[in-house]
Amino acid sequence: MQKVQFRFYLFLVFVITFFAGPFLWQVITSLKPASELATLPPVLPSNPTFENYASVFKERPFLRVVLNSFIVATSTAFLSIGIGSLAAFALAKLEMKGKSVVLLLVLSASMFPSISIVAPLFVLLRALHLRDTLFALIFTYTVFALPFTIWVLTGFFKSIPNEVYLASRVDGCTVFQSFYRIVLPLSAPGLFSTAILVFIFSWNEFLFALVFTATVASRTAPVEIALFPGIHEVPWGEMAAASVVVTIPVVVLVFLFRQRIMEGIIMGAIKG
């Protein structure tokens, strides 16, 4: 019994170190002054400093960029839940022919490699004069999040007993009223889980943001970090600080809403 306990804790420690270590190292790096950056030892900074964080916000439009990311992520979450819940409701509760075809179509859209359609999307956005706008990103991300959203929400809606829906119809609700007044509130936890997952996906997306944004007006955080290196210099200290800043919101989300996130993933993957 003792040996098993010991091995258990050993493995646990290893797991925690492996997964949390790199991020921790980044935090340590971000606190190192420039002169101690590219040397090992020392591993820990002799006098930790916040100068990297200061310079990230002073010398770059980082606050604006983080704000952009936040706006895009929140809007994407709202929009995709809005459009997706409508479709999921139809698939879960309404009578219709060809449900499996629609489901298959939705599923096939989820396997599109972004690289395959980034070029025509760029051309399309340019034609609509939407290049370098936040809206372009919100719109694109929403559509990319849709298959997953629809998939997951269909599962959540299906788990609401049919009698509830039918009862509301009998009581005189139109289809939409049933959807809006009854089914939606009942599945609020599921909606919330999905919204968080969509937020995380949108916060982290890179390829489209890289290609579609041209200036600070629409740039998001991951792209800004990728653009930190100058023509010859690579500001490792600042990048470490920026990485920490960009990661904190999602880490906080994770700790606060771990249960919900897990529910969302499970619903999407297992029960779907």
Partner 1 sequence: MSLYRRRPQIFFLLPALFVLALVMFYPLIYVLWLSFHRRFLIFNVSEFIGFGNYVFLFLQDERFWNALYNTLYFTVTSVFLELVFGLAIAVLLSREFRGRGGVLSILLIPWVIPAVVSAKIWEWIYNPDFGILNFILKININWLGDPFWALNAAVLVDVWKATPFVVLLLIAGFQTIPNDLFKAAKVDGASSWHIFWCITLPLLKPTILVVLVFRTLDAFRVFDTIYVLTAGGPANTTETLSIYTYKLLFHILQFGYGSSVAVVIFVFTGIVTVFYMWLLSRG
Partner 2 sequence: MKRSIKLTLFCFIVLLFAFSSCDKKDLEEDNRVTIVFKYGKLFGDPEPIERLIKEFESLNPDIRVKDEVLPATTDEQHQFYVINLEAGSRDFDVFSLDVIWIPEFVRAGWLRDLTHVMPPELRKEFFQGPMEVAMQNGRVYAIPWYIDAGVLYYRKDLLSKYGFSPPRTWDELVYIASEIMRKEPGIYGFLWQGKQYEGLICNVLEYIWGNGGSVVENGKIVIDSPNNKQALGFVRDLIHKYGVTPKFVTTMTEDSTTRIFAKGRAIFMRNWPYAWNILEREDSPVKGKVGFSVLPSFPGYSSFSTLGGWFLGVNNYSRHPRESEKFVRFLSSYRAQKLLSLTVGYRPTLKRIYRESDIVKTQPFTAHLYKVFEHARPRPVTPFYMVISQVMQSEFSAVITGIRNPEDALKSAKKHIEFIMGIGY
- For partner 2, the binding residues (CB under 8 A) are 35, 37-39, 60, 71, 74-75, 78, 122, 126, 129-135, 138, 211, 214-215, 217-218, 227-234
Q: Which of the listed partners (partner 1, partner 2, none) does 130 bind, with a CB threshold of 5 to 8 Å by partner kind?
A: partner 2
Is residue 83 a contact point for partner 1 (CB under 8 A)? yes
Instruction: Please say which residue, 11 or 50, places its beta carbon nearer to partner 1.
Output: 11
Locate 270 and state its tokens.
């297992």
Nearest CA-CA partner of 200 in 212, 188, 189, 192: 192
In the complex, least distance from residue 156 CB atom to partner 2, rounded to whole angstroms: 20
Instruction: Please say which residue, 161 or 229, places its beta carbon nearer to partner 2.
Output: 229
Three-class secondary structure of residue 192 per DSSP: helix
- 125 contacts 143 by C-beta, under 8 angstroms: no
In the complex, least distance from residue 54 CB atom to partner 1, rounded to whole angstroms: 20
Alpha-carbon distance of 182 to 165, in angstroms, equals 7
**CA–CA–CA angle 209, 214, 216 (5° rounding):** 90
Binding positions for partner 1, 148-177, rule CB under 8 A? 150, 175-176
Is residue 127 a contact point for partner 1 (CB under 8 A)? no
Alpha-carbon distance of 105 to 251, in angstroms, equals 33
The residue range among 46-54, 70-78, 91-99, 160-168 that interacts with partner 1, by the rule CB under 8 A, is 91-99
Is residue 191 a contact point for partner 1 (CB under 8 A)? no
Dihedral sign computed on CA atoms, order 171, 175, 177, 178: positive
Residue 35 DSSP code: G
Q: Which of the listed partners (partner 1, partner 2, none) does 150 bind, with a CB threshold of 5 to 8 Å by partner kind?
A: partner 1
Nearest CA-CA partner of 220 in 193, 195, 201, 192: 201
Is residue 109 a contact point for partner 1 (CB under 8 A)? yes
Binding positions for partner 1, 205-234, rule CB under 8 A? 205-207, 211, 221-223, 225-226
